[in-house]
């Protein structure tokens, strides 16, 4: 299922007496029922019906129209189903239907008037207001750090904080109504690598939104936390096995946060005095943990690849060993035969010489005196000479063949030996790569373990703690002056501020979501993020139709966009992010609209998938095609490079995922198991696992070899998009029912956000 724009057109049926115009009166009903199959891309029967001139030129059956003679024109005969012609054919894949009597009458009148061509007039597209029930999620994006997830619902954009599991921003353009981001459906979204920008694509426009983390100017407001009783603090201290230095209760009285002398900050259930979550670490340590996780996954992937290379080379060596054995056997066999064949040559040469001498003597004798008997002897001698020469030639040829066989076999031995030597070097290099990757992985694993251990040990003491008004975040002030904020639901550190001295001892929260620590020094943290419109790209004629994909380059400096005109062209345009100016335009890169894009990890190549069922990999600097990959039988809906760039995955509307070996440019695996179209896919972090969404109401995770890792089934509606945090701990998906669902790595639902 693919989203459609809600567009209002005025249909005018002209009176039979007026002069008709092609683009005004005829083209509208030909476009959907005839031109969908007879255009410059499809051109069935070699007939293009996009202009009167092309119809007069005709196709395999000759001109499709004859100006002034409607009844003799094939297009009219086919529309009337006469002369065994029926157009459009029944049960066609384009959804074309028979022309109505009124349309046929208009067509005949236009042809009888001379089938005149008119200039194509551009018409403004009037976008109708969306119905309240039209609120599907067609696209998702997740920030590289896994913190934020953005989704498009109808013409609005919502951003969620996955740490606090809350809506933090509705991205809107002040020029649009009701907080909308675009006038038409949001077709595509992408975060920049650093997370400071969000790009969105819609009908004939792209917008760039800039993250604004400016601190509020308001001063400290009165605390909304309720006091914690001495009796409850005593119970908490006993349960926590530590001295409670600071405490605060949430506004609803259901949770308590404590800061203890062991450096811990804990959230408790106030009624049961049971711990809910322990808050440790900082933004920096969280970032370091993510980097180490990525390194471990990447080096695991590297080792797996190198091991598969070794296995491939070893299999190749086995085949080479068989060939080497045959070559050596051929040398041995021919070496034994060759002396015998060489020995057979001298007797044939002697026989030839003797036969030649006999011929010469008889010829001289016959020349001296004509004698019939001598003439017969000469004829016999000449026949013997011919036989002797052929015998010698045969003997020499046998020697030559044997020598050639020996040489060929010796060349084979050299070539095979060289190949095995090259393979030995490749295996050595692969083993060295494995060793290097393992060393880095082990160090990263050790550093990760040490970092996690350090988080469990006591550190600076929390001298003040506090809940936000909505109890979704917790702040703590430490004795070294650090003010730190965590997401209460996940324990993720989300912000911090440092003072030069441990002067602040009290914290308050404000309705705008900020925390303020006050005494001799005041620090403010915790402002909710917002994305403001930075730039709108909608120059006339720049985008032919919907912008189906937007993607930032790995360095964040370039934005690639994809679209085109349905059934006619697939265009890709690159923009400089800083200026918003186009830097490259690839017109008609595909023969149908481009639906998806991805940059290679090194940023040098771009992969595109389109409605023409083709996947193309292109070198960006030169616009040179590197790979043309054919394996889908329907629209290519999504593409993604693996983190090492060695594997590419593509999703098809026929219900398959295909993985491609980018080293050799061939198909690696065709993965099946979906009953409807696969609508999106994404590699999870630095792994070989792929998260997918599909029309069969499932979110599946498979690896690039086709093995299913996880299947979240029985979802209530058509899923249009699914993404994962880089570490795979959080999965997010959305679809036709407008709910944005969040699961943990095991598939347990953590949250479901609606549009309201």
Question: Does residue 121 sit in the same domain as residue 23?
Answer: yes
Domain's final residue, options 476, 492, 525 = 525
Residue 404 lies in a domain: yes
Distance from chain centroid for Cα 38: 31
Residue 483 lies in a domain: yes
- Residue 222 predicted with pLDDT over 50: no
What confidence tier does 403 reach under pLDDT thresholds 50, 70, 90?
A: very high
Question: Does residue 293 sit in the same domain as residue 410?
Answer: yes
Residue 337, burial from CB neighbour count under 10 angstroms (0-12, 13-18, 19+): middle
CB atoms within 10 A of CB 175: 9
Within 8 A by CB and 6+ apart from 449, the residues are none
Mean pLDDT of 702-727: 94
What confidence tier does 279 reach under pLDDT thresholds 50, 70, 90?
A: very high
Mean pLDDT of 680-700: 96
Question: Does residue 702 sit in the same domain as residue 750?
Answer: yes
Question: Does residue 438 sit in the same domain as residue 507?
Answer: no
Mean pLDDT of 526-536: 86
Within 8 A by CB and 6+ apart from 280, the residues are 263, 264, 265, 455, 456, 491
Mean pLDDT of the chain: 88
- pLDDT value, residue 557: 97
**Which is more confident, 21 or 144?**
144
Domain harbouring 333, CATH code: 1.10.287.620
Question: Does residue 88 sit in the same domain as residue 12?
Answer: yes
Do residues 289 and 282 lie in contact, with contact meaning Cβ atoms separated by under 8 Å?
no
- Residue 202 predicted with pLDDT over 90: yes
Distance from chain centroid for Cα 184: 24
- Residue 217 predicted with pLDDT over 80: no
- pLDDT value, residue 520: 47
Question: Does residue 374 sit in the same domain as residue 503?
Answer: no
Q: Which of 278-292, 305-319, 525-539, 715-729 has the lowest mean pLDDT?
A: 525-539
Percentage with pLDDT > 70 across the chain: 88
Q: Which of 411-425, 429-443, 472-486, 686-700 has the lowest mean pLDDT?
A: 472-486
Site of tokens 């036709």: 736
Percentage with pLDDT > 90 across the chain: 64
What is the count of structural domains for the chain?
4
- pLDDT value, residue 214: 57
CA distance 595 to 691: 18
- Residue 10 predicted with pLDDT over 70: no
- Residue 516 predicted with pLDDT over 80: no
- pLDDT value, residue 9: 34
- Residue 627 predicted with pLDDT over 70: yes
- pLDDT value, residue 564: 94
Residue 733 lies in a domain: yes
Domain's final residue, options 92, 126, 160 = 126
Domain harbouring 728, CATH code: 2.40.128
CB atoms within 10 A of CB 443: 14
Question: Does residue 410 sit in the same domain as residue 508?
Answer: no
Residue 610 lies in a domain: no
Question: Does residue 299 sit in the same domain as residue 436?
Answer: yes
CA distance 79 to 98: 7
**Which is more confident, 683 or 377?**
683
Q: Which of 76-85, 167-176, 364-373, 401-410 has the lowest mean pLDDT?
A: 76-85
Highest-scoring range by mean pLDDT, 52-56, 321-325, 522-526:
321-325
What confidence tier does 46 reach under pLDDT thresholds 50, 70, 90?
A: confident
Around 297, how many Cα atoms within 13 Å sit in the side-chain half-sphere?
Answer: 19
CA distance 414 to 134: 70
What confidence tier does 85 reach under pLDDT thresholds 50, 70, 90?
A: confident
CA distance 8 to 30: 18
Question: Does residue 291 sit in the same domain as residue 413?
Answer: yes
- Residue 304 predicted with pLDDT over 90: yes
Question: Does residue 406 sit in the same domain as residue 337?
Answer: yes
CA distance 343 to 341: 5
Residue 614 lies in a domain: no
- pLDDT value, residue 15: 46
Residue 518 lies in a domain: yes
Domain's final residue, options 426, 455, 484 = 455
What confidence tier does 255 reach under pLDDT thresholds 50, 70, 90?
A: very high
- Residue 216 predicted with pLDDT over 60: no
Residue 749 lies in a domain: yes
Mean pLDDT of 111-116: 87
Question: Does residue 468 sit in the same domain as residue 416?
Answer: no
Question: Does residue 329 sit in the same domain as residue 449?
Answer: yes
**Residue 688 structural domain:** 657-756
Closest Cα to residue 560, out of 527, 603, 616?
Answer: 603
What confidence tier does 497 reach under pLDDT thresholds 50, 70, 90?
A: confident
CA distance 53 to 43: 15
Residue 694 lies in a domain: yes
pLDDT tens readout for residues 631-680: 999 999 999 999 999 999 999 999 999 999 999 999 999 999 999 999 99
- pLDDT value, residue 58: 85
- pLDDT value, residue 223: 38
């Amino acid at each position: 299922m693919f989203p459609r724009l809600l567009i209002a057109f005025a249909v005018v049926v002209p009176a039979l007496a007026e002069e008709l115009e092609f683009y005004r009166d005829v083209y509208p009903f030909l476009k959907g029922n005839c031109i969908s199959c007879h255009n410059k891309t499809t051109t069935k029967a070699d007939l293009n019906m996009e202009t009167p001139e092309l119809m007069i030129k005709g196709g395999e059956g000759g001109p499709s129209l004859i100006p002034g003679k409607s009844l003799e024109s094939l297009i009219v005969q086919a529309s009337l189903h006469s002369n065994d012609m029926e157009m459009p054919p029944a049960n066609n894949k384009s959804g074309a239907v028979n022309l109505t009597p009124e349309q046929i009458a208009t067509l005949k009148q236009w042809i009888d008037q001379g089938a005149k061509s008119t200039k194509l007039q551009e018409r403004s597209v009037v976008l109708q207001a969306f119905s309240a029930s039209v609120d599907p999620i067609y696209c998702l994006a997740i920030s590289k750090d896994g913190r934020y997830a953005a989704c498009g619902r109808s013409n609005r954009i919502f951003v969620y904080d996955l740490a606090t599991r809350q809506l933090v921003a509705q991205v809107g353009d002040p020029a649009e109504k009701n907080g909308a981001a675009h006038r038409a459906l949001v077709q595509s979204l992408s975060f920049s690598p650093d997370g400071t920008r969000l790009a969105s694509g819609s009908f004939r426009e792209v917008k760039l939104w800039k993250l604004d983390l400016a601190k509020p100017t308001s001063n400290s407001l009165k605390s909304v936390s309720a006091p914690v009783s001495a009796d409850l603090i005593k119970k908490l201290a006993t349960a926590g096995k530590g001295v409670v230095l600071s405490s605060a209760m949430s506004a609803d009285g259901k949770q308590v946060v404590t800061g203890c002398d062991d450096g811990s900050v804990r959230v408790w259930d106030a009624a049961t005095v049971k711990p809910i979550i322990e808050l440790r670490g900082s933004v920096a340590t969280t970032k370091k943990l993510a980097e180490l996780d990525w390194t471990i996954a990447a080096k695991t992937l590297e080792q797996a690849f190198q091991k598969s290379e070794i296995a491939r080379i070893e299999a190749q060596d086995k085949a080479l060993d068989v060939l080497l054995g045959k070559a050596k056997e051929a040398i041995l066999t021919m070496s034994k035969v060759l002396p015998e064949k060489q020995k057979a040559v001298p007797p044939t040469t002697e026989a030839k010489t003797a036969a030649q001498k006999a011929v010469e003597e008889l010829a001289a004798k016959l020349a001296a005196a004509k004698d019939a008997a001598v003439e017969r002897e000469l004829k016999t001698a000449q026949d013997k000479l011919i036989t002797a020469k052929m015998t010698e030639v045969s003997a020499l040829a046998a020697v030559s063949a044997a020598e050639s066989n020996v040489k060929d076999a010796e060349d084979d031995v050299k070539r095979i030996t060289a190949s095995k030597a090259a393979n030995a070097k490749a295996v050595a290099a692969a083993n060295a790569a494995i060793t290097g990757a393992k060393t880095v992985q082990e160090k990263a694993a050790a550093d990760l373990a040490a970092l996690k251990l350090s988080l469990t040990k006591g550190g600076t003491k929390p001298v003040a703690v506090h809940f936000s008004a909505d109890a979704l975040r917790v702040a703590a002030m430490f004795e070294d002056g650090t003010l730190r904020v965590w997401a209460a639901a996940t324990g993720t550190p989300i912000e911090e501020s440092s003072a030069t001295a441990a002067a602040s001892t009290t914290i308050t929260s404000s309705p705008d979501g900020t925390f303020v620590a006050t005494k001799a020094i005041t620090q403010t943290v915790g402002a909710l993020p917002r994305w403001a419109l930075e730039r709108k790209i909608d120059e006339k004629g720049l985008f032919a139709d919907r912008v189906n994909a937007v993607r930032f380059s790995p360095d964040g400096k370039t934005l690639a966009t994809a679209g085109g005109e349905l059934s006619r062209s697939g265009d890709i345009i690159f923009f400089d992010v800083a200026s918003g100016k186009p830097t490259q335009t690839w017109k008609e890169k595909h023969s149908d609209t481009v639906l998806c894009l991805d940059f290679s990890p090194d940023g040098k190549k771009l992969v595109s998938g389109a409605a023409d069922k083709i996947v193309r990999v292109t070198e960006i600097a030169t616009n040179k095609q590197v790979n043309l990959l054919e394996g889908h039988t329907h629209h290519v809906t999504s593409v993604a490079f693996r983190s090492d760039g060695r594997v590419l995955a593509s999703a098809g509307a026929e219900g398959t995922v295909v993985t491609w070996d980018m080293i050799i440019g061939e198909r690696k695996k065709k993965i099946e198991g979906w009953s409807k179209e696969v609508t999106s896919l994404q590699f999870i972090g630095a792994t070989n696992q792929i998260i997918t969404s599909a029309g069969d109401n499932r979110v599946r995770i498979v690896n690039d070899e086709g093995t299913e890792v996880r299947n979240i089934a029985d979802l209530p509606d058509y899923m249009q998009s699914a993404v994962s945090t880089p570490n795979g701990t959080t999965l997010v998906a959305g679809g036709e029912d407008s709910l944005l669902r969040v699961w943990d790595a095991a598939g347990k639902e953590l949250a479901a956000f609606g549009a309201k």
